[in-house]
Amino acid sequence: MSLSSKIAVVGSGYVGLVAAVCFAEMGHDVICVDNDEKKVAALCGGEVPIHEDNLPELLQRYCNTRIRFMTNLAEATQASDAIFIAVGTPQSETGDADLSYVEAVASEIARSLDSYKVIVEKSTVPVYTNEWIRRVIERNGVPQHLFDVASNPEFLREGTAVEDFLHPDRIVVGANSERAARILQDIYSPLTSGAYYERRDRIPGRNSVAEPPALLLTSTKSAEIIKHASNAFLAMKISFINAVSNLCEAVDANVEQVAKGIGMDERIGPKFLRPGIGYGGSCFPKDVAAFRSVAEQMGLDFSLLAEVEKINNLQKKRFLSKVRSALWTLRGKRLAVLGLAFKGDTDDIRESPAIDMVRMLLAEGCSICAYDPAAMERARQVLPESLQMQYVSDAYTAADNADALLMLTDWPEFSRLDLDKINQALRYPIVVDGRNLYDPAAMASHGITYMSIGRPTVSPSRELASDGVDRL
């Protein structure tokens, strides 16, 4: 039976809120601190600010019992054994991570430290942040024996963050002292011992009593690099398949078959090889830039990462060219847009390639009728409703009388559309799919001209074999 720990989580955004709720689910007492009073009031009132599977249920289960929300960081610090910093680390103009929020939180924690605590970086930060947090705390007059700074990066995907937290591939703990390591090992012991997976009311997922996740103990600097290197590697995998998809288009090959073929090599693996309109979100673009910047500051040439970014940006421009090639001219065209979130199953539009695409299309003089199952409220804030930019409540209304339909986000519901209904709604039956959600042959058989990424364009008059290969 593992003991319950007292934990504070600072920052109740996508990362902090999920971590806080999952720590409560693991049996700990959690205080979640945020300096946004409105957010704290909403959370105290049971509101769920983000779209995340399992989060509403867990919040309801633990709110005001094992998890409390407050703005008072000093009180939370004094009541806790471990304080996780999960405030934002946005990208600064130079590409580095802006660590001013992390610094502000570290100073405030220092001012209220009265007994030993471990301060844990949960936000994605560049290597050496740990050292800086330590210095900031010491400068505030806190003696070394009263604290340790550890690094415990998260690998959560938005949308499935709760499941990812409770069923991780691995848990990484960077700690330079045994005391700090032990506190973190205890916090994660419900997962690493398998005890959590014995519970009947557990959140289901890939881990089990027989196969609990491993906890990898490293130095703090290694842990910081593991996080950036993981995200940079995944972004590189996506840019790689996007570059391959362009080659496939040039020679009339099919990137889906190519991705399957290379992914069957266990050394490569099938995941993160989905071509599209580029990666987005709050992490990959920011982390690739920050990792590159760290390398540059150390005098190292990591221009591979610059190429990853370049391919990602070009992918959006190539998609615009594809739309243009389907419609000849863009000015005055009415386009249906399905998807605004940076990926399916989330309401997050940060660095969304779909939003970038809409901006480019509006700049070309198109008018847009958009639908997204969860991200429209956020999208309205950056793309206000106007004659050119309209929001509707379903895919078929978006398609109504449009010159073409564009698929920009991989929401599962977009891959289950009634294609006959779409065909009838559109003024011209043209679909340009930036996420490869359909089998080209199926589209053609429903009378639709279909352009996708890295696969031959099909139109109703051209026959395709059932495997989607154009044999003309």
Residue nearest to ligand UDX (CB): 13
Closest to ligand UDX by CB, 356 or 439: 356
Reported residue count of the chain is: 472
Q: What angle do CA 407, 408, 409 make, to 5 degrees?
A: 105
Q: Give, in degrees to the nearest 5, the angle at Cα 319 between 313 and 322.
A: 150
369 labelled catalytic: no
Closest distance of CB 11 from ligand UDX, Å: 3
Binding test (CB under 6 A) with ligand UDX, winner from 7, 8, 9, 14: 14
Query: Alpha helix locations (H) across 116-173?
Result: 129-139, 161-166
Q: Which stretch binds ligand UDX (CB under 6 A): 29-37, 191-199, 292-300, 399-407?
A: 29-37
Please check whether residue 357 is in contact with residue 319, taking contact to mean a CB–CB distance below 8 angstroms: yes
Give me the 336-375 binding string for ligand UDX, x by CB under 6 A, dash otherwise.
Answer: ------xx--------------------------------
Q: Catalytic residue, from 22, 32, 248, 283: name it.
A: 283
- The single residue among 5, 207, 231, 452 that binds ligand UDX, judged by CB under 6 A, is 231
Number of residues lying near ligand UDX (CB under 6 A): 40
Q: How far is Cα 299 from Cα 89, in angstroms, rounded to an integer?
A: 23
Query: Which residues, in sequence order, are bridge partners of residue 407?
Result: 338, 433
Q: Does 89 bind ligand UDX (CB under 6 A)?
A: yes
Cβ pair 164, 209 in contact under 8 A: no
* Binding residue (CB under 6 A) for ligand UDX from 8, 9, 39, 255: 39
Of 20, 109, 120, 156, the residue at the interface with ligand UDX (CB under 6 A) is 156
Residues 256-315 interacting with ligand UDX (rule: CB under 6 A): 272-274, 276, 279-284
By the 10 Å C-beta count (0-12 exposed, 13-18 middle, 19+ buried), 306 is classed as: middle
Query: Should residue 147 be labelled a site residue for ligand UDX when binding is judged by CB under 6 A?
Result: no
Q: Is 87 in the site for ligand UDX (CB under 6 A)?
A: yes
Pair 34, 111: CB distance under 8 Å: no
Cα(470)–Cα(458) distance, rounded to whole angstroms?
A: 8
Nearer to ligand UDX, 90 or 365 (CB): 90
Helix, strand, coil % (nearest 5) of the chain? 45, 15, 40
Known catalytic residues? 283
Residues near ligand UDX (CB under 6 A) are: 10-16, 34-36, 39, 86-89, 101, 104-105, 123-124, 154-158, 231, 234, 238, 272-274, 276, 279-284, 342-343
